[in-house]
Every structure is written in structure tokens, then in C-alpha cells.
Structure 1
């Protein structure tokens, strides 16, 4: 029997939750965090949970009003975090449509439709899971618990008569301090990005290609100078940071010289260098071209590892998948007639409403697939099948995402792995139905990516929704109001995401150099979009475009090795694991991006180690402070990056870096590392 939990705000107490200021602030923050996470996610293929920074911003702003309370703050962070989650589902998939030529640009209304439908269905599918996973199964939902602890620091209710009434009396102003910490770090991140891309005073990275031993050994290396990536590493922790760095080492520091040693003739030809020129006479630019070709080949190792990692994620999730689906069906049965006599803190959105939403959604879903298949003669039957597949797969994977969020948290939820499995499975099914001849080879991959985008968005929102509902369960929120605020966040973010992607593509390029970016060196500074590139390669490859298998087979072998190592670590009971997808993403990215992530992970580990002997309260305060600083660095740099993309695309070219920019950049980055450490060690 489930343990009875007493929330912070009792079910009998009525505090304002659904207020106009909470709705407006939640929608605005959802759009803001969607823009920030779009930039970071496209850059490194990782997104981080926005619940804690959203909670800090909410407390900092709502405290300016005469009346506010903890449940109102919780509603704001519920809505705001939806933007971060939804954008992950979109950026992992939709750019593939542009990369494969199905879209010439990020089409506004089709993208809005996919985002809204996927996000709303993700909320709807997990509404029945709240009682099953939070109350009955009592899963941990680590980020939901952490967010609740942050919100508690601001007190329960603030009124004109009682500025900070808390559960124990009068709370200290930790909420305001947390907001200031986040704001200062965001300002630092924004200033750094402005000095780097906007003025060219700070270099964005340091890179070098060296040919040793008369050209027989080729070494390529670089270091990105980015406060945002330091923040990402701090948040994801040492384990994931190490694995991303390991991937970078495999793909670049080991892979490039090994590829040059084994395939020098092919690389010389691919780089457009005359075979008659001796290696000792190559120019620096020619060595750079060879190294770039070698690294580009090595990225396919990451593709192979991601393919195996995605399928392995699906296999390892079989037990949670069954548990999640079973819990969801049980919840539908037991809650179908609930309503009368249920206390406030147990009032979910009525199940009939959920079923109506799912039923109505079949109409726009059908038209999305029907439109995407354009000239295909059998598009009516294929569209009907794809609609059913979306509802079935969406429900299953949303249940899995909700369940896994309870076990490992939203940031570590294997959403991209599930999506990779979806792409492979749906492409294999459709290729048997449609074939690979003529128009089918062109339109089949497009339909697959639409399906992947819808499912990935639903799964991402499902995990976020469950984390937020856990936070609300601890605080004493009304579930149906939280579910409504989640939908508000989804819709708000959906309307801004296409604009952000269009700006980023015009300013930097997504997955390839921007077609109209005029800044010098733009070919080297585009946003990698690793998952979207993989989705494009998989879907078009299965439909007959072909896949270059040589390096992908190496990725298969590497993934199998990592799986064995991970099982050994699991058997040993070690907390350090080897999830395949983290290494695979690291291989796919330039090694330089993984260096600051690795430093951030080391820094987080050191702070936790130094704080281990401190009181529990001090440990919590330092953990919260560190997360807020890291989140601020990410948000500030990312938002400034979006603004600079607008300038680069539509106003004027960006300046080239100054001669001394690399030296200034290294010094500035060292100071940012010190800043992160110093403020992570603070307590409120």
C-alpha cells in the first residue's frame, strides 16, 4: 500500500494558483528557455532541465508583486520548463527535413503544428500516470524533488501583511538571492558571447592541425571557449562529461591520425590535393583540409554507435516500458469515473477530456502526414497508418519517458535513443509498404521524420510533465491546473521555436554552413545538430540513398564494447556507467566542444567532494547555487547567441577575431571557471 504523503500546502488550504501574472510569466519564460535551449541543443546535442532556473526566476519576479505564493511559483516553473523540453523534441528531429531538402527553410505553420500536437499529446498521455507513478510506485523524480526544495526557500506565501510567511514562520530571502545569482551569471554569459562573436575581442576557440614525422602522423585538436558549455558540463555531472570527452578523443585525437595512417590516399583525393605533391610540401591549408576530411569520416563512427545505442535503449527499457504501459492502462481504468469527493491535491484533468483530446488530434495528425506525402499515389492509406502509428508509439514512448524520468530524471532520459529506434523501425515498415522507387524514396523519409518529431516531442514533454507533477505533489499543487499550465508552456514555445530555428540557421547554419551567412569562417562555426543529422542519414539511407558502412561498423563494435563495460559496472554496483549515446554524441562533435563540458563535470565533482563533510543544509545550498550559476551561463550565452544570429543574418557581417583574441579568450575562460567555482561554494 502506498505511503500517505502530507504536502507542504494542505489540500484544505486554498492559495491562488491559476492567476493572470502566472500565466503570462510562465508563457514568456517558456519562450525564452526554448530559444536558449535550441541554441545549446543544436550546438552540442545535449539539453538540460530548466525547472530549477525557471523556479528561481519565478521567485525573483513574483516577489515584486504584493501577493504571491509557492503554488503560483510552481505553476510558472511548470509552464516555463515545457519550453526547454519541447524544443529538445524539435531540434533532435526537424532540422533533418531541411538537411534532406524537403524544406527550403524552417516552415512556420507546419513546425508549429508538429510542436503543438506532439507537446499536447505528451501531456495528455501522461495525465493518467500521475497517480500510478508518483503515488503508487513512488518513483524518485530527482529533478522534481530538487525543484520543490528550491521553491521552498522562498516561503509559502507573501502578502502585504506577511512579506515571507513560510511553513516554519518567516523564511529568509533565498528566493531573491537565487534569482540574483542566476541573473548575474546570465549577464556574464551574455557579455562573454557579445565580446566573442559580436566584437571579435574574445576567440570562440583555439584550434591547431599538426603533421609530425614528415607527415606520417596527423594530429588535429581544438578547445572551445564557452561559458555555456562549462555550465552544461557542471549540470550533467562528471560521468556524462567524461563520456562525451571520451567520444571526442576517440573521434579526433585517436581517429584522425589513425584514419590518415590507414586511408591516406582516399583522404588526399577527397581533399582535392594532387597526388604528385609530396606530403612534406603540403601547405597548412591542405593539412587542414585532410584533417577535416578524416574527422568527417570519423563522425560516422558516432552514427553507428548512436544506432546501436538507440536500439539498446529500447531493449533495456522493455521492463520499464511494460511497467509504464501497464500503469497507464490501470490508471485509465481506476480513474475513469473519479471526480466527486476527490481532494484538491488529487484532482487531475478528467479522463474523458484526455480521450477527447486524443481523438480530436487524429484529424490534424492525418493532415500532417497526408500533406507531407504530397504526390505519392497511396498517401491516403499510408497517412491513416502513420496516424495510428503516432498514437500507439506516442502513447508507449510517452509512458516510457514518464517512467524513466522517475528513475533517472529528465536530463538523463534517453529521448534521443528512443527516437532513433522510432526512425529505424518506422522506416523499415514504410520501406516495405512504399518501396524505394521514384517518389517513394523522396517522400518516405519525410514522413518518417514527421513521425519522429511528433513522438520525440511527446516523449520529451511527458518526462517534464511527470517531474513537474512530482514537484506539485510535494508542495500541494492542484494537478489539473499544473497540466493546464504545461499546455500553456507548450503552445507558447511552439509559436517561437520556428522563428528561433530560422534565425539560427540564417546566422550560423544548422547541420551545415548557413546558405547566406557572410561572416568569415562561418563554414567552421555552424551548429552541429548531431541527432538531426543522424535522423536524416538513417531515414534516407534505409529508403535507398545508401549508407557508407565502413566507419559505421566500427561504431557498432565500439557500442557493443561500451554496453559490455556498462553491464560490468552495473554488476559491480558502480555509479560510473557507460551509456552509449553520450560517447556517440562526443564522437560526432568536434573534440573542442567536449573540453569545457569535461572541465564543468570535474568542477561539479570537486564541489560535491569538498562539500561532503559539510552539513546537509550547506550541501543543498551549494548544489542549488552551482546549478543556478551554470544555468545562468547557459541561458545568457545562448540568448545572446540568438541575438547575434539575427545581426549576422539580417543586419551586418560579424567582425573577424582580433590577433590577440585567442589569448584573451583563454584568460577570460579561466576567469569564468573560477567564477563558477567561487559561486558554487557559496551558501545563501
Structure 2
């Protein structure tokens, strides 16, 4: 990994001696606000653009094949550190903030890919061809909306709610970049987490040596369909550790309500889809979740999203007031007084840009949404950008339910468009595409801004980097989607594109009157009750919407954090340095776990693209039977938890004072 230049390293050391700041400003950044370090440079932009296209292509394929994409920020940070290290050997250095620009631009491709493959790819299920120009225009407009709408929320979500919203991938990425720049024990800790995760996922997904997904369904008395399980991958456990037991518990609580209450009631009551009526109990539970429970989660997210907007009304009003002042010219002086680490793109650009995009959604024929669709897209994008930016701060980008927000948009848009006489589901799908892309990009933008906030980056430079990255991603997205459709056929066994198929089905279903409005109402009522009880709505809603296999490993990571914290608390000295040390070590090791799995995802994706892999997705399967894979999966999980705990607690009494950090 790359080591920062001496002057940058000294600045970082100096910044760590000044750790007392107001609650308003949060912790001192790695690079102090008063220092200027190379950031948005030509070499950073060129490297970022190159990695952007690579991650866009890889994630579009992986997402359509498996239904999930991989977070690009940390892999991009690691790769860029390696590239800058190589450049330094020939006399061309790279700073930690240049590395941050690279990962910011790269992750834009990953985020836009998720929105495109979850929605625009659905036109193929409606017997429509992939239109390269249409895809590029919709992707660009949706992506830019995501960036612009996130800007006025940055200070509220990233700065003012720093302690409440950990943004796990953003925090982990900052730890990776800091450790690589310092070159101290942090590099060793990240390497341990990386190697453990990399080997773990290679054995699981590369050789099918064991199963990461352990799940079961059972009957209790006369009630059938209780289901529990987890996809125990290192990254999800690492995310759970970073967000902590409280938030992880909310997500898991929503999962329990779905899989241990609602699904058993529906199965016992005979509400099993006909296609799964004779299947095993676990398959029935999955079918009920897919047909009904997702709508419950979507209804809860709609109410939770509106409530989040109401809760942020002061911030929104302040942001709009600032925009008006800057447009009138009265805010220029205040702008000049802001610290480097507090400077965003001018609010007048945000307002004017949003207005121009709204007009383009209506006026550009390739978008195909019309006046009503454009109005719905802008309003829904603003809502779900706020929801997405908040949610990724709670549960991380890996669990950001972009498809759930797209479902909610489809339900709202289709109902409104149907009342206006629209019968074409493609119009509904394009409207949802703008929102899904905006939400995905906003979630990614907020994680990147969290990384920059912790490192001491200039928000405006990161936002410019995001805009450049989105422009390139949008330009290539249509061609990549068209290529994969011509090569494999979207909806085929090779790239089934499950989310895209679901979006197309729902679009038609709402227009024909077959959507599950009753389940949506149940979710909305449930969210309203949680609001009355002053319980966080969105983490619960995410838990309901996501498969229980994602909520459980996140909860395991939270429990691991709680157990380690309690153990350390019993041995801690009076000033708490040992607890702080353990927290720092654990976060860095967790960052390594997320990094290792993400990069292994790229490796496996490369094999897929090369045509190497069996029907289960393992390029080099060992041929073990299912029972053996399950037993070995339990052993591997126990070993993962043991290695993680040992890495966090090892040498804690001797090194506590020297390695503690402030976050």
C-alpha cells in the first residue's frame, strides 16, 4: 500500500494531536482544514475514469447474474493506492486526498450500474429493445439528480449527525486510506482482514468448498413457515460491526417480524403462490416474501421516507434559503468565509441544475416519461435521495434497498399515470428508473462524502468528481447493457436479472390492477405505529424488505461488537484508552473484511465474464455434497468470528495508548 509523502504524514500526525472540537464540527479530520493537499488532479481523474468503466461493467454483469452489486469504494481505494505507489517509484506521487478522488469517481460507476440494471433492463421483459441513447440520457439525468439533491443534505447527515449515522463503507474506506497513508499497524490489521475475507470468499464462491448461506424453515404447532438463516459473508459481518448492535438490532428486528411473524401467518393461512405450493417449506417462505412481504417493506419505507423528510424540514428550508441568497448574490461573502472542508458546490448550481433536469425529463423525447411522469420522477427522486442517504448511513451501501425504492416509485407512478389514462408500462419503468438511479447515486455520494469528511477532503471537489464519474458511466451504461443483452440475453439463465424482471412485472401489475395494495397498507400502518412509539422506522423497514439472510449476519456483526466492547470494558483502565483502541482496531479489521470480499467479487466476476463457472456460480468447484458444504460452512463461520476477535484483542494492553484514534 502507498505511503503518503513526509509533509502529508506530518500534517496527519499534527491533526491527531488536536482532537477536541465542538459537537457541531465533529472529529478532527486526517488532513486539517487549514492545510492544502493535492486533491482533484489530472492523474487522479484519469485513474478514476479508467476504474469507473471497469467497475461499471463488472457490476452490471454481477448484478444481473446474482441480483446484488459490490461496493466499489474500498476496492478502488486499495487499487488506487497500489497505482500511486507504483507511480511514486518513477517520481510521480499521490496524496491521500487524490486517492479519495479516485475512489469517489470509481464508485459512481458502481452506483449508476445498480440503478440501470434494476430498472432500465426491465424493458427487455416487456419485449422492448435496449435503446443505448435512451439509457444514457435517463442514467445521466437520474445520476445528476442524485448528486444535486444530496448536496443540501450533506451538512445535516454527514456532519451534524456524525455520531448517529456511521456510514459503514464510508468510514471503512477512510480507515483503509488512512492506514495506507500512515504505513503503521493499521496496514497490518487491514491486511489480516483482507486476507481472511479474500480466502474465505474464494473457498466459498470460487471453489464451493462450503456454503455461506445457512437457513432453515420449521413448523411450530399448527403454524407453518417460520424461517431463519443468514448469508454469513465477511463483508456483512464487518458492516454489522461498524454500525454497532443498536442499529443492527433494528434491522434484525424488522427481519424477525417478516420471517418469524408475517410469513408464517401467510403460509398457514394458505397465501402461498401457486408456483411454490408443493415446494419445500423454505422455498414457500421465500416465495411468500417475494410475492407479499416486499410490498409490506415498501409501504413502510414510503411512510418512513416521508417522515424522514418531515424530520429534515429545517435543514431543507435552510438549504433552500441559502440557495435563494446565493442566487441573489447575498451569500457570496459567507461562502468565502467557509473552511475548505465545508465548501460544497454553490447552491444556485443545485437549484438551477435540478430545474433544468426536470425540464429535460419532460422535453427530451428519449426519456419517455411525459409531463406527469417527469413531475413524479423529480418529487420521488427528492424523497428517496433523502431516504437512501439516510439508510446507507445506518446499514451501509451493501444493504441499500434501491430496488425497494424503485418498487415504491412504480406503485406511486403507476397509480397516478393509470388515473391519467397511461397504459404503457415502459413509461412507468422509465419514471422509476430516474428515481432508482438517483437513489443509488445519492447513497454512494453520501458514503464518499463521509469518507471525505473524515479525511479532510473538500466536498466541492468530491462533488465535481462525482459529476464527471456519472457522465462517463451514463455514456457507457447503454452500450454495456446492450452488449450483455446481445451476448447472453437479459432474462436468460446466465443473466436472469431478477430485479429488472420484478420491476417489469409490477409495472404491468399496477396498470392492470393486480398489485398488492393491501400489503402496502399493512407496511404503512406498521411504520406509523413505530413513529408513534418513537422507534426508528427506516432500519425496521429495511429489515422487513431485505431477505433474512442479509439481516442476520449484520446482526451477528453488531453482537460481535457488543461482546468485544463488554469484554474490553471489564479490563479497561479509568480513561477508556483500551476501549477506544479496541474499537479502532475492530473498525480497521472490518474494513479489511469488506475490502477482501469486494475484490474477490471482482475476481469471480472476471471468471463469469470469461465463461468459467458452473450452474451454481463456482469457477472451480470441489464437488462436495450439500451436507458437507453446510457443515464446513458452520466451521468457517466460527473460524471467521474467532479470527476477527483475536485480531481485535491481540496485544491490546500493550498498544492501547499508541494506536487509539478519535472516531
Report if the CA contact (8 A) 1:221-1:252 is conserved: yes
Q: How does 1:338-353 map to 2 (within 5 A)?
A: 342=336, 345=340, 348-350=344-346
Report if the CA contact (8 A) 1:469-1:482 is conserved: yes
Offset of residue 309 of structure 1: 0.7
Matched, 1:27 2:27: no
Specify the alignment match of 1:326 in structure 2: 317
What do the CA deviations read for 1:602-631 (whole angstroms, capped 9, x no partner)?
A: 334333433444525413422322331331
Specify the alignment match of 1:73 in structure 2: 99
Specify the alignment match of 1:456 in structure 2: 436
Specify the alignment match of 1:180 in structure 2: 191
What do the CA deviations read for 1:546-573 (whole angstroms, capped 9, x no partner)?
A: 1356xx54x7446634653564364xxx
Report if the CA contact (8 A) 1:86-1:493 is conserved: yes
Specify the alignment match of 1:658 in structure 2: 624
Report if the CA contact (8 A) 1:507-1:648 is conserved: no
Report if the CA contact (8 A) 2:402-2:440 is conserved: yes
Q: Distance in 1 between matches of 2:602 and 2:65?
A: 13
Stretches of structure 1 that go unaligned for 5 or more consecutive residues are: 156-163, 165-170, 273-285, 374-381, 435-439, 571-575
Q: Distance in 1 between matches of 2:286 and 2:383?
A: 37
Offset of residue 183 of structure 1: 4.2
Matched, 1:307 2:298: yes
Specify the alignment match of 1:279 in structure 2: none
Over 3 Å counting, the alpha-carbon distance change for 1:674 and 1:328 in structure 2 is same
Matched, 1:365 2:361: yes
Structure 2 counterpart SS, 1:329: helix
Q: How does 1:80-159 map to 2 (within 5 A)?
A: 80-90=106-116, 92-98=118-124, 100-103=125-128, 109-127=133-151, 142-143=166-167, 146=171, 150=175, 153-154=178-179
What do the CA deviations read for 1:492-512 (whole angstroms, capped 9, x no partner)?
A: 5446666887899999998xx
Stretches of structure 2 that go unaligned for 5 or more consecutive residues are: 1-21, 653-658
Specify the alignment match of 1:433 in structure 2: 420
TM-score, normalised to structure 2, is 0.72
Report if the CA contact (8 A) 2:108-2:466 is conserved: yes
What do the CA deviations read for 1:467-496 (whole angstroms, capped 9, x no partner)?
A: 544654565544432222112332454466
Specify the alignment match of 1:675 in structure 2: 643
Q: Distance in 2 between matches of 1:506 and 1:607?
A: 51
What do the CA deviations read for 1:240-288 (whole angstroms, capped 9, x no partner)?
A: 6556655666666666765565439x87x7568xxxxxxxxxxxxx553
Equivalent residue in structure 2 for 1:297, among 277, 288, 296? 288
Report if the CA contact (8 A) 1:128-1:335 is conserved: no
What do the CA deviations read for 1:335-365 (whole angstroms, capped 9, x no partner)?
A: 3336689368265445665566556646763
Specify the alignment match of 2:9 in structure 1: none
Q: Is the radius of gyration larger for structure 1 or structure 2?
A: 1
Report if the CA contact (8 A) 2:74-2:595 is conserved: no
Offset of residue 433 of structure 1: 1.2
Q: Distance in 2 between matches of 1:653 and 1:474?
A: 40
Specify the alignment match of 1:642 in structure 2: 605
Equivalent residue in structure 2 for 1:484, among 446, 464, 468? 464
Offset of residue 533 of structure 1: 6.5
Over 3 Å counting, the alpha-carbon distance change for 1:12 and 1:54 in structure 2 is same
Q: Distance in 2 between matches of 1:581 and 1:43?
A: 26
Equivalent residue in structure 2 for 1:625, among 575, 583, 588? 588
Offset of residue 71 of structure 1: 2.5
Structure 1 counterpart SS, 2:210: coil
Q: Distance in 2 between matches of 1:82 and 1:22?
A: 14
Offset of residue 421 of structure 1: 4.3
Q: How does 1:386-535 map to 2 (within 5 A)?
A: 386-395=373-382, 397-398=384-385, 419-434=406-421, 440-441=422-423, 443=424, 445-466=425-446, 468-469=448-449, 471-472=451-452, 475-494=455-474, 515-517=492-494, 529=499, 535=503
Offset of residue 152 of structure 1: 7.9
Specify the alignment match of 2:543 in structure 1: 583
Over 3 Å counting, the alpha-carbon distance change for 1:183 and 1:294 in structure 2 is closer
Structure 2 counterpart SS, 1:317: helix
Q: Distance in 2 between matches of 1:249 and 1:507?
A: 41
Q: How does 1:170-319 map to 2 (within 5 A)?
A: 171=182, 173=184, 176-177=187-188, 180-181=191-192, 183-185=194-196, 187-196=198-207, 200-203=208-211, 205=213, 224=231, 226-235=233-242, 237-239=244-246, 241-242=248-249, 261-263=268-270, 288=280, 292-293=283-284, 295-319=286-310
Offset of residue 188 of structure 1: 1.8
Offset of residue 302 of structure 1: 1.0
Specify the alignment match of 1:437 in structure 2: none
Query: Greater CA deviation, 555-564 or 625-634?
Result: 555-564
What do the CA deviations read for 1:387-421 (whole angstroms, capped 9, x no partner)?
A: 34444544565467667878998778786665554
Specify the alignment match of 2:12 in structure 1: none
Offset of residue 543 of structure 1: 1.0
Q: Distance in 2 between matches of 1:131 and 1:218?
A: 45
Over 3 Å counting, the alpha-carbon distance change for 1:130 and 1:83 in structure 2 is same
RMSD, matched Cα: 5.1
What do the CA deviations read for 1:74-116 (whole angstroms, capped 9, x no partner)?
A: 3233323434443444455445444x52546x66554343332
Specify the alignment match of 2:557 in structure 1: 600
Structure 2 counterpart SS, 1:78: helix
Structure 1 counterpart SS, 2:420: helix
Q: How does 1:371-390 map to 2 (within 5 A)?
A: 371=366, 373=368, 383-390=370-377
Report if the CA contact (8 A) 2:146-2:441 is conserved: yes
Offset of residue 635 of structure 1: 0.4
Over 3 Å counting, the alpha-carbon distance change for 1:234 and 1:507 in structure 2 is farther
Query: Greater CA deviation, 128-137 or 576-585?
Result: 128-137
TM-score, normalised to structure 1, is 0.70
Report if the CA contact (8 A) 1:324-1:400 is conserved: no
Over 3 Å counting, the alpha-carbon distance change for 1:80 and 1:236 in structure 2 is farther
